Structure 1
C-alpha cells in the first residue's frame, strides 16, 4: 500500500503564504514533514531540494543565491528564485519546467514519467566558452554559474563530497603508505563548501590534517559542524598542534586562518614536508574564487570589482607561486596531487611551466572505481527527520552485508557527520548496487518505514556523466579526455529513463571552458511509477560509466561490461 500523502489529504497553503513562510529572500527553508505543498511529490521533491540548497545551513551566501564554490548559484536572481518556486507549486504531472542558467523560461507538455524539471546552466558555444565572455554575460544578468550540484539543486552540504574525499585519501594511503595514514601529515588549502570536507575525510582515514583558508568564517562553519577539531590564526600554534598529533598518530584536524601559499612557504622554511599535499581553494575561478597573496580578503573583494583584469593577473601569479612551492615539496618526498580545481592550468598561465608535473586525483586514485560504475550516490530525507536516514543506513547494511567498506563508512558517518539542512547521506555505490538501493528506498516509503519520500541523486563528478580533461577524464587511455558526447548521452539516457529532474552544466569544478557534465535526481515515493523509473535510471546512469571506460580501453571496465550484460 502506498502511504505517501496526496494533495487531497492536506490543506495547501496559497502561493503567497508558502513564499512568506518558506522563501522570503534571503531566508529559504525546505518544509519538512509529510504535508504536500505542490500538486505532486515529484514537484515537491524539486521544491524542497531547491530550498534546501539555499537554506543558511547549506548555502555559502543565501543573499546572493550562492550555494558553494565562490559563485555557484541555485538561481540567477531573487525574482527568478521566486518564480521557480511559484511554478513548482502549481506544476502538473504532465508538465515540465525548463530552467536556463537559473531562470525559469517555460513549461512544456510531457508525461508523468518524464522529468518534472530540465535544467541547463552556463553552457556556451565552445569558441565563446571563456571566462571573459561568461563574465560579460553575467554582469548583464544573462547567465549564472551553476557549479555542479548548486544549479542542479542536489547539493547536500559539505557531506556531499565527503566520501569521495575519503576514498581519495584512503587510495593515496594504500598506494604510498601501505594503507596506513597514522603518523602522516596531510596539508591542503581551501575549507569552503567543497574543501571543507577535507579535514573530516582525512581524520576518518587516520591522518593528521592541517587546512588553510583566508576566510575565518569558512573555518568557523567547519568547526560548528564538527568537520574540523581546532581553529587558530597562529601559525606556530597550528604547527605545534599538528606535529604533536602526527608524532602520537592522532587523527587531529586543524583549521588555520591564512593564505595557503604563505603557509606552505613557512612550512618549507621550517623543513616540515607534508606526507600528502593537495588543494581545494576556488582556483577554478581566478577572478571571483581564488584569493591572491599579499592582500586581505576585503582588499581582494574590492580589487575584483575595481580592477578585475589586474586582479586576475595577480591571482594567476599567486597560483604560480603556490604551485611552485607544492612542486618543491613534491621534490622532497611529499605525495602531491591536484584535487580538480584547475589550479595547475592557471598556475601555468601565471608562469609555473612545470605545474602539470603534479598528477590529478582521478587518474592517480579514482579511475578504477569509475570502471566499476562506482560513484557518489546520495540521498535526502524529505521528511526532515534524521531517523529516516538512520533507517536507510541500516537497511543498506542488511542489503549489502558483504560490502564491509560501505558498512564501515556508514558506521563512521552515523557517528561523525553533522547534517546541514535536510538530513542526507552519501555512499559510493556501483553498477547493480544503485538500482537495488533505489528500489529498497522505494519499498521503505511504500511500507511507511520512513515518514516521507526519499530523493536520490549524485554529484556530477561521477563515473559516466562528465568530460573534464583536467579532472575526471584526465589522461584517458585512448586520448578522449575532451570528448563530451558521454555526458550528453548520460543526460539523454536519464531523461529517457524518467529521472525526476535532470541538468546539463558547463564549467563546474574547474571553470568556464574546461568541463561539461550532467546531473540526475530521482524520487522514491513508494509508487509503482517510481519503481519503473528507478529501475531504468539507476541502471542507465552507472552503465554510462562502464560504457565510457570500456570504450576507452580499460580492461576492468570491459570485464564489468561483460559481467553486467552491457556489451552490444
Structure 2
C-alpha cells in the first residue's frame, strides 16, 4: 500500500508466501485488498467498491485495523466486523469462521434510507452492497454469467436461441451494469448502453466489456442498425442520461427488441438527475437531499415510463434487480411494475436446483492457475453443455481484474464436486497457491429481497428474511472461512437482507472436509427454501438428492402446477 487515506493504492499480495499466520487469514486479507484494487473498485480512494456506495470498510482507519488484525489472527480465533469496523476477536476453534461480518443491519422500524444516512454520517454503520462489504467482489465478471444466462434465456424464449439480429437498449456501466454489453455480445446481439459517467464508459472499453463509444444518439443508432442488419454482435456506449435518451428513442420509434436497466437506483441520491451539473448535484445532495430525492424519483418515473412504452410495442422488458421500479412508482408512475424482474422471468427455475454463481479466486495472483482450474472443470463437467460453453466463452472474453477469478453457474452437488477438484489441484501442487471459493450473494437461498430474488414467491413469502439468516448460520456451522450478513444490497435499505460466504481450499484434508460441507450445505439451503415455498421441481429435487425436509409433510404446491398436500 502506498500513499495516504483517500489517495493510497491497495493491491493484494501475490504468490505463495504468507503475510498472515495461515491461509484462511491470508485469503481474507487478499480478498479485502482485492476489493480495493484500482483495477477492480469503482472509487477505491473512497473505499467504494461498486454500486455507487458499497464499501469494503467503514474508514481507512478501520481498513488498517482489519489488515493488522488479520495478520495477527490465530487459527482458532474469530474476528467480528461490525459494518466495516473490526470490533473484537474471540477464541473459537479451527472449524469456526476466521471472520464474521454484519453490515448495515438496522432494527426494522428504523430501517429507512433517512435513518441509515443519519447513522452513516455519525460514523456508526456503512453500506456494504453485496460482495463489497463481504470481501468477495471480483469485478464485472462477478455478475457476468448471470447477465449472460438471463440474455440467453431471452434469446431462447423470443429469438430462436440467439440474439443475432436484435437490438438491446439499456443503461448503467458501473460495477454491475458493466457486464451487460459483453453478456449481450456473447449471445450474438447488439447493445446500446447509456451511461452518464465518461470514466465508466472508458473503463468498460479498457477492460474489453464494451466495443465502441458513439458520438451522439444518432451515431449510436446508426452503428446499431448496421450491426443488427448484418447480424453482427456489437456493444455501443453512449454518454447520456437514460431518463432523457430513452424517451427520445421511443419518440423516434426505434425498433428495440429488448430493454432493461442497471443504473444505480437503489438509493435515489445516487441516481443522476437530468439538468444538473455534477457540482450542482453534489451541492443539492449535501444541502437539500429531500429535493434531490424528489427530482431523482421523477426522473426514474420518466425512465421507467419509456421502458413501458417499449414494452407496449412488443419489446422484451425486464428489471435487472436495481430497484428502479419501486422508485419510479414512488415518483408517480403507476405502471412501474408492468414488467417483471429478471429472477421471476428467467432464473427461478434454476434456483429450484440451487443453480447459482459459484466463483473461485486464485490467491496466487497468477492467471495460469485459473487456466489450470478451467481445464479441470471442463473435464469434470464434460457432460454439461451449459457449463462447458460458459467456461470456454469466459476463457476467451473475460480479462483479469485484480486477483484472477472465474465464475460458473453450478447447482446442488455440482458445487461440492467443483470444490473437491480445486482442493485436489492445490494439494497436488498444480496451482501455485490456495484458492478462495465463494459465490455471488444473488443466490437461491441467501437472499430475502421482494423486489428481486424473492419477488412473487409462490407462497407469498417474499419478505421472509429467516432464510438468509439461516443460510449464514448454516455456513458458519459448516466450516466457512468467513461469513457475512448484510442489509440493503441490490435493491436498497429496507428492501433486502442477504448473506455471503467464502471457504478456502488449501489442499489439506481439513480443507477438503470444510469445502465439501460448505459447498453442499450452502446451495442445499436454496433447494430447501424453494421446496418449502411449494415449487414442484424443488420438492422433487430435494427428494432426489436426499435433502431431509420435515416441512414437506405439509407443503402445498402453489406454483400453478397443481395444488394439494405433498408427500415426499
- TM-score with structure 2 length normalisation? 0.95
Shift of 1:512: 0.2
Paired residue for 1:545, among 526, 551, 554? 526
Match for residue 258 of structure 1? 240
Match for residue 409 of structure 2? 428
CA–CA separation in structure 2 for the residues paired with 1:551 and 1:244: 49
The answer on whether the counterparts of 2:2 and 2:8 sit within 8 Å (CA) in structure 1 is no
Paired residue for 1:478, among 459, 472, 475? 459
Match for residue 515 of structure 2? 534
Paired residue for 1:510, among 491, 497, 515? 491
CA–CA separation in structure 1 for the residues paired with 2:85 and 2:168: 41
CA–CA separation in structure 1 for the residues paired with 2:133 and 2:434: 22
Match for residue 103 of structure 2? 121
Shift of 1:481: 0.4
Match for residue 94 of structure 1? 76
CA–CA separation in structure 1 for the residues paired with 2:265 and 2:2: 37
2:134 matched to 1:152? yes
Equivalent runs, 1:440-519 vs 2, <5 Å: 440-519=421-500
Match for residue 112 of structure 1? 94
2:183 matched to 1:201? yes
Paired residue for 1:394, among 357, 367, 375? 375
The answer on whether the counterparts of 1:380 and 1:454 sit within 8 Å (CA) in structure 2 is yes
Paired residue for 1:85, among 67, 80, 91? 67
Match for residue 380 of structure 1? 361
CA–CA separation in structure 1 for the residues paired with 2:97 and 2:4: 24
The answer on whether the counterparts of 2:2 and 2:10 sit within 8 Å (CA) in structure 1 is no
2:321 matched to 1:367? no
CA–CA separation in structure 2 for the residues paired with 1:153 and 1:393: 23
CA–CA separation in structure 2 for the residues paired with 1:304 and 1:172: 38
Match for residue 139 of structure 1? 121
CA–CA separation in structure 2 for the residues paired with 1:325 and 1:436: 45
* Cα root mean square deviation, aligned: 1.3
Unaligned runs of 5+ in 2: 550-568
Partner SS for 1:503: strand
Shift of 1:261: 1.7
Match for residue 49 of structure 2? 67
Paired residue for 1:352, among 329, 333, 338? 333
Partner SS for 2:358: strand
CA–CA separation in structure 1 for the residues paired with 2:492 and 2:524: 27
Shift of 1:21: 9.9
Indicate how the Cα distance of structure 1 residues 236 and 439 shifts in structure 2: closer, same or farther if over 3 A, else same.
Answer: same
The answer on whether the counterparts of 2:447 and 2:453 sit within 8 Å (CA) in structure 1 is yes
Match for residue 231 of structure 1? 213
Partner SS for 2:483: strand
CA–CA separation in structure 2 for the residues paired with 1:23 and 1:408: 43
Match for residue 331 of structure 1? 312
Partner SS for 1:161: helix
Partner SS for 1:274: coil
Partner SS for 1:27: coil
CA–CA separation in structure 2 for the residues paired with 1:239 and 1:539: 47
Match for residue 34 of structure 1? 16
Match for residue 269 of structure 1? 251
Match for residue 13 of structure 1? none
Shift of 1:146: 0.3
The answer on whether the counterparts of 1:273 and 1:333 sit within 8 Å (CA) in structure 2 is no
CA–CA separation in structure 1 for the residues paired with 2:255 and 2:114: 38
Shift of 1:302: 2.7
Partner SS for 2:268: coil
CA–CA separation in structure 2 for the residues paired with 1:442 and 1:24: 38
CA–CA separation in structure 2 for the residues paired with 1:131 and 1:281: 18
2:48 matched to 1:57? no
Equivalent runs, 1:297-336 vs 2, <5 Å: 297-336=278-317
The answer on whether the counterparts of 1:22 and 1:29 sit within 8 Å (CA) in structure 2 is no
Shift of 1:567: 3.1
CA–CA separation in structure 2 for the residues paired with 1:418 and 1:180: 24
CA–CA separation in structure 1 for the residues paired with 2:168 and 2:87: 46
- TM-score with structure 1 length normalisation? 0.95
The answer on whether the counterparts of 2:472 and 2:483 sit within 8 Å (CA) in structure 1 is yes
Deviation string 1:305-339 (CA, Å, 9 cap, x unpaired) is: 22111111100000011111111111011111111
CA–CA separation in structure 2 for the residues paired with 1:84 and 1:21: 18
User: Which is bigger in relative contact order (C-alpha 8 A, separation at least 6)?
Assistant: 1
CA–CA separation in structure 2 for the residues paired with 1:492 and 1:411: 35
Per mean C-alpha deviation after superposition, the further-off stretch among 207-216 and 25-34 is 25-34
Match for residue 280 of structure 1? 262
The answer on whether the counterparts of 1:25 and 1:78 sit within 8 Å (CA) in structure 2 is no
The answer on whether the counterparts of 1:23 and 1:29 sit within 8 Å (CA) in structure 2 is no
Shift of 1:268: 1.1
Per mean C-alpha deviation after superposition, the further-off stretch among 300-309 and 59-68 is 300-309
Partner SS for 1:329: helix
Partner SS for 2:416: helix
